[in-house]
């Protein structure tokens, strides 16, 4: 009995690890540039991802942040703090929804805002089989009132 229980646990652990590996193998990392060319923007400012994906912000100018929420109202989901050129900050999104974010220094005054939209993965359509054509029935001759079966393949019939 102990051997059976150990095997069952081992099989379940193996299956669980395969699912975890499959989910992590499918996750993507999306890059957003903070302050490209000295501009007070995120580029791109809007990204659409799936649960399990990560957004990585990379600073190309100084004195900016990425903070979840709207200017003046952080919601506490993430906050990079103020960082400078060359820094990176990443956040993994595990649930669907729209996640606005902004720079705490430039969001309110300069419109340095962005949006991460996390949408469910669209399942692949299940292929359906093409129905085979229904064969047309072969007509069976019916007897004439006198009980004769006419021959439709020739000009002959009942006499």
Mean pLDDT by 10 residues, the chain (159 residues): 51 46 71 97 98 98 97 97 98 99 94 97 66 64 58 52
Cβ count within 10 A of residue 90 = 15
CATH annotation of 28-118: 2.60.40.420
Cis check for the bond before 44: say yes or no (omega within 30 of 0). Answer: yes
Each domain of the chain, given as residue ranges in start order, spans 28-118
pLDDT score at 34: 98
Which pTM does this prediction carry?
0.63
pLDDT score at 113: 98
pLDDT score at 108: 85
Contact between 29 and 90 under an 8 Å Cβ cutoff? The reply is: yes
- Judged by DSSP in three states, 53 sits in coil
């Amino acid at each position: 009995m102990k051997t059976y229980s150990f095997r069952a646990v081992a099989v379940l652990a193996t299956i669980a690890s395969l699912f975890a590996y499959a989910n992590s193998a499918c996750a993507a990392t999306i890059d957003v540039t903070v302050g490209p060319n000295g501009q007070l923007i995120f580029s791109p400012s809007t990204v659409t991802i799936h649960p399990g994906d990560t957004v990585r912000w990379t600073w190309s100018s100084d004195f900016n942040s990425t903070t979840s929420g709207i200017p003046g109202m952080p919601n506490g989901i993430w906050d990079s703090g103020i960082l400078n050129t060359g820094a990176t900050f990443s956040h993994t999104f595990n649930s669907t929804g729209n996640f606005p974010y902004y720079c705490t220094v430039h969001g309110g005054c300069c419109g340095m805002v962005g949006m991460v939209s996390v949408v469910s993965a669209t399942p692949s359509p299940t292929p359906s089989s093409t129905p085979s054509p229904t064969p047309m029935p072969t007509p069976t001759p019916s007897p004439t009132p006198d009980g004769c079966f006419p021959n439709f393949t020739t000009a002959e019939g009942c006499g």
